[in-house]
Amino acid sequence: MKKYTSTLFLALISMFCAAQSAKQIHDKAIVVDTHGDILFNQIKSGIDIGKLQKTGNFDLVRAKQGGLDVQVFSIWCDEKGGYDVANQEIDSLYSLIKRYPKRIALVRNAAELEQAVKEQKLAAMIGVEGGHMIENRLDYLEKLAQRGMIYLTLTWNNSTPWASSAAEETSGKVKKENAGLNDFGKQVVHKLNELGVLVDLSHVGEHTFFDAIKESSKPILVSHSCVYGLNPVPRNLKDEQIKAVGKNGGVISLNFYSGFLDSTYNTKQKAFFAKYEEELKSLSAKYGRSNAIDTLIALHPKDADATRPAIEILIDHVDYIVKMIGVDHVGMGADFDGAESFPLGINSVADYPKITAALLKRGYTTAEVTKILGGNFVRLLKANKAVK
């Protein structure tokens, strides 16, 4: 009995020390999320994300709880929107910063980022998700950069006249001979390099991906994508793309969406929807499909949780990239507020410490964890300084 008690005591001490070590590493690291769809929902709902929210995945309170130092706020709209919508969302971020100047600051480069972290403010950065928002105008691109855009995702799911998306390349909507970047698309990449704005290759088709890698004189970002070799969906990167990012010196920030992480998720989700088919139809008629799904998940959390992968699957994606191109090329881009499902235990930005603990448990060193959490992204910013 004494031996059992002693063994249990030592195990508890070991667990406590490991938890303390994970917390210390997490608190010391610069933690960066390269993609969050918060602003579109903020405008739509009118919520104040400076205050703790019962819904959604982000607010300033939970960001602080999770030790999040840097949030890249996605500026997003579908193909029906454009430059004006982008500016409305940027205005909403400016307004948030004006209301809470002691808690959040707009930053445009690595030096400003590091200063904000030093002042214990959330460093807010702007990423424009979808080249359609520049409306085929380089002057609009320049103006968005002046307002703080630190990356441009060349396409969203919709293609532009100058770049083809993954969704439309794989569906056949864009013919092979028309896929990739045209001359204007190449000008966009060159202008981004000149301005010091990151070229983001999430969402783009393979032809666009390799054209952009070839044209870019600076390391690129993949702001919120996962590994095709672990889950073959069009939004994930194939091995040759991963290798190209490594050769380019870029960073792949992993998306936390269950549908990109887990190859079994779609099957489990369909079964969940089938079980509550009539309820989902009724909710969809009342709230629209997207809101209906969120509502259904909230009404049946136990069944919804059964569809979610374990956090270890996210770390599997980290491992895959690290083994292929090294630890210097991995980051985190959760896609919070942009998807309906994330790994078990990962419900908001408050849960970022669990990522640190999972990486340490998998055997990553303190230095490696620090790079993955945000160090690699800071290095990327420094490598993309504007041309003077």
Residue type, 16: F
The residue written with tokens 């769809």 in the block is 37
Q: Is residue 127 included in any domain, yes or no?
A: yes
Q: Which two tokens stand for residue 22?
A: 């994970």
Partners of 253 in beta bridges: 331
In a domain, 3, yes or no: no
Bridge partners, residue 74, by sequence:
127
The predicted pLDDT at position 15 comes to 47
Q: Which residues contact 20 (CB under 8 A, 6 or more apart)?
A: none
CATH number for the domain that contains residue 55: 3.20.20.140
Give the structural domain span for 239: 17-264+309-383
Kindly report the number of other CB atoms within 10 A of residue 68's CB atom: 27
CA proximity to 69, closest of 25, 114, 101? 114
In a domain, 299, yes or no: no
Per-residue model confidence (pLDDT) at position 278: 94
- What is the CA angle 63-75-62, rounded to 5? 10
The answer to whether the Cα torsion of 321, 202, 315, 74 is positive or negative is: positive
pLDDT (0 to 100) of residue 334: 98
DSSP state of 120: T
DSSP state of 199: E
Count of domains observed in the chain: 1
pLDDT, one tens digit per residue, over 141-163 is: 999 999 999 999 999 999 999 99
Question: Which phi and psi (to 5°) does residue 364 adopt?
Answer: -70, 145
Confirm whether 304 is domain-assigned.
Answer: no
| Three-state DSSP state, 337 | coil
Two tokens, residue 216: 């870019």
Q: Is residue 111 part of a domain?
A: yes
| Token representation of residue 224 | 């919120």
For the chain, which ranges sit under pLDDT 70? Answer: 1-20, 388
Is residue 2 in some structural domain?
A: no
Q: Any idea what DSSP says for residue 152?
A: E
Residue 361 lies in a domain: yes
pLDDT the model gives residue 5: 54
Cα–Cα distance for residue pair 287/295, rounded to 1 Å: 9
Whether 301 is in a domain gets the answer: no
* Residue 274 CB burial class (10 angstroms; 0-12, 13-18, ≥19): exposed
Is residue 36 a contact partner of residue 335, using CB atoms and an 8 Å limit?
yes
Place of tokens 């089938």: 274
CA-nearest of 35, 37, 34 to 337 is 37
| Cα 310 to Cα 355: distance, rounded to the nearest angstrom | 12
Q: Tokens 């091995």, residue?
A: 239
Q: Is the pTM of this model over 0.75?
A: yes
